[in-house]
């Protein structure tokens, strides 16, 4: 397998791959960018052969600098993100979000790549990582070609690569009403790690009826034949099997004495700690395809969550991602091959811009490694550092993708209201990032 410090091979011309290629070229490296769509081999989702085609939404999310997604964009802009620059050139009115003219955006990125003298585009389908000289970057996204996916599986280990993404909502701990929800484990056999939200009979049936009636997100054509795993069944699919089904599944109340009554409630929703800092808890067994506004409306019917602030809402969709904390180094290179990098959604991030940022970071990490510099990731307190930390640290048995949210930032220790807490997190992120980038 050949190695050339001056030429990096990148597979995939989506957001992460395009960002990574343009960054590396700007650093003075030569880039070979492989894109099978240039050979008219389209995925079930793509409609064009343009680089950085947006296949779902045309929004990159909030631009508010006091929001977590907004803070991520501030940092990426300071690192010279080409994708963000093109998005702003192609912006359309979208309130406080960055809405994008898809066609103009993709044409702009395609022009920058095709006119860059340091980037060679190859219309080629890569089926094995052994085809690629090192260093190389795999940035193929959730619809990676089947042959390449199988080869990656052989390299990383079958048990560490996933093709189905089932995410339960994540809630800001401070928004849980602890006068109703209490901490306990079933039969008192644990360490009281779970918050328990009790429902009486009337509340339970009203709740499951709203789940049944709520508007659901329709699966994309290429997802329709993807079966659900029994272990990650959507809550609405459970309800369709029978109104009592959740009560004998994730909502079973056995072994949980409500301290207000001394008895088991009719049903319980359990919340499990989602990060080390304890600032976020996820709803156990509540992966769902309900539309986002419906999730907030329905889940706030749960006693104890009437004022819930959702750091992340639930979803179920086809995806391909690796168990990053177990198989990748902090610089997003393979633990088995230090010059094989992964970038984009495959690393366990969710969302257009979060995926872009992984391509941006990989370019910087490659620059450091190939110039024999000390590894210097963004600081933990920054948005980029928090997102990187979330996917590379704290190995979990059930690793789930995430996008940037305040639950990923370091915990603010002093007592303050949630608005002040978020402002302090943003200020801490800005200070740390500005010091790092100097």
Overall domain count for the chain: 2
Q: Which of 296, 321, 314 lies closest to 139, judged by CA?
A: 321
Residues sharing a CB contact under 8 Å with residue 407, sequence separation 6 or more, in sequence order: 170, 172, 274, 275, 279, 280, 311, 312
Q: Based on C-alpha coordinates, what's the Rg of the chain?
A: 22
On whether residue 1 sits in a domain, the answer given is no
Co-location of 18 and 145 in the same domain: yes
Indicate the residue among 264, 291, 313 that finishes a domain.
313
- Tens-digit pLDDT profile for the chain (438 aa)? 799 999 999 999 999 999 999 999 999 999 999 998 777 676 655 677 889 998 766 789 899 999 999 999 999 999 999 999 999 999 987 778 898 988 899 999 999 999 999 999 999 999 999 999 999 999 998 778 889 989 998 998 877 777 666 678 999 999 999 999 999 988 887 788 899 999 999 999 999 999 999 998 876 654 455 544 445 578 998 999 999 999 999 999 999 999 999 999 999 999 988 777 888 898 988 989 899 999 999 999 999 999 999 998 988 766 788 999 999 999 999 999 999 999 999 999 988 999 999 999 999 999 999 999 999 999 999 999 999 999 998 766 678 888 999 999 999 988 888 889 999 999 999 999 999 998
Structure tokens at 96: 């406080």
Co-location of 155 and 185 in the same domain: no
pLDDT of residue 44: 56
Q: What is the DSSP string of 133-156?
A: -BSEEE---TT--HHHHHHHHHHH
pLDDT of residue 30: 98
Q: What is the CATH number of the domain that holds 22?
A: 3.50.50.60
CB distance 354 to 404 below 8 Å: yes
CB distance 60 to 352 below 8 Å: yes
Q: Is 58 helix (H, G, I), strand (E, B) or coil?
A: coil
Q: Which of 430, 342, 234 lies closest to 17, judged by CA?
A: 342
Structure tokens at 189: 């056999």
Co-location of 358 and 215 in the same domain: no
Co-location of 295 and 322 in the same domain: no
On whether residue 357 sits in a domain, the answer given is yes
Q: What percentage of the chain's residues is helix, strand, coil (to nearest 5)?
A: 40, 20, 45
Q: What is the CATH number of the domain that holds 198?
A: 2.40.30.260
- Positive or negative, the CA dihedral 31, 36, 42, 43 is negative
pLDDT of residue 229: 46
On whether residue 2 sits in a domain, the answer given is no
Q: Which of 170, 405, 141, 403 lies closest to 287, judged by CA?
A: 170
Residue 387 to residue 236: CA distance in whole angstroms = 30
Co-location of 364 and 262 in the same domain: no
Which residue range(s) make up the domain with 209?
Answer: 170-313
On whether residue 112 sits in a domain, the answer given is yes
> Cα 377 vs. chain centroid, distance in angstroms?
19
Co-location of 136 and 205 in the same domain: no
Co-location of 185 and 283 in the same domain: yes
Q: What is the DSSP string of 212-230?
A: HHS-BPPPPGGGTT-PPPG
Residues sharing a CB contact under 8 Å with residue 319, sequence separation 6 or more, in sequence order: 142, 162, 163, 164, 165, 345, 401
């Amino acid at each position: 397998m050949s190695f050339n410090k001056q030429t990096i091979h990148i597979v995939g011309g989506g957001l992460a791959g395009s960002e990574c290629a343009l960054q590396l070229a700007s650093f003075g490296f030569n880039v070979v960018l492989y894109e099978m769509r240039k050979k008219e081999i389209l995925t079930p989702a793509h409609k064009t052969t343009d680089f950085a085609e947006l296949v779902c939404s045309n929004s990159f999310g909030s631009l508010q600098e006091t929001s977590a997604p907004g803070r991520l964009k501030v940092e990426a802009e300071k690192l010279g993100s080409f994708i963000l620059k093109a998005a702003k050139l192609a912006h359309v009115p979208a309130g406080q979000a960055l809405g994008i003219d898809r066609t103009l955006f993709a044409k702009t990125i395609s022009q920058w790549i095709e006119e860059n003298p340091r980037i060679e585009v190859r219309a080629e389908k890569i089926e094995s990582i052994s085809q690629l000289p090192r260093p190389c970057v795999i940035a193929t996204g959730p619809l990676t070609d089947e042959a390449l996916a199988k080869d990656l599986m052989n390299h990383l280990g079958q048990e560490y690569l996933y093709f189905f993404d089932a995410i339960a909502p994540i809630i800001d701990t401070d928004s849980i009403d602890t006068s109703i929800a209490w901490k306990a484990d079933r039969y008192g056999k644990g360490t009281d790690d779970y918050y328990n939200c009790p429902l009486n009979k009337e509340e339970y049936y009203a709740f499951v009826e709203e789940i049944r009636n709520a508007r659901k997100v329709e699966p994309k054509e290429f997802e329709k034949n993807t079966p659900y795993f029994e272990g990650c069944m959507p809550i609405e699919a459970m309800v369709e099997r029978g109104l009592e089904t959740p009560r004998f599944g994730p909502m079973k109340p056995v072994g949980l004495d409500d301290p207000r009554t001394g008895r088991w409630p009719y049903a319980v929703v359990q919340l499990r700690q989602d990060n080390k800092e304890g600032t976020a808890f996820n709803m156990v067994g509540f992966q769902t395809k309900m539309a986002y506004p419906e999730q907030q409306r329905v889940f706030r019917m749960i006693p104890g969550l009437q004022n819930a602030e959702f750091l992340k809402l639930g979803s179920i969709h086809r995806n391909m991602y690796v168990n990053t904390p177990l198989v990748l180094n902090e610089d997003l290179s393979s633990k088995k091959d230090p010059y094989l990098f992964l970038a984009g959604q495959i690393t366990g991030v969710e969302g257009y811009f979060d995926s872009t940022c992984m391509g941006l970071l990989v370019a910087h990490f490659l620059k450091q490694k190939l110039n024999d510099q000390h590894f210097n990731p963004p600081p933990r307190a920054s948005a980029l550092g928090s997102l990187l930390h979330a996917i590379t640290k704290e190995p979990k048995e059930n690793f789930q993708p995430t996008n940037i949210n305040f639950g990923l930032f370091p915990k603010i220790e002093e007592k303050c209201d949630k608005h002040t807490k978020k402002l302090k997190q943003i200020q801490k992120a800005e200070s740390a990032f500005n010091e790092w980038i100097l």
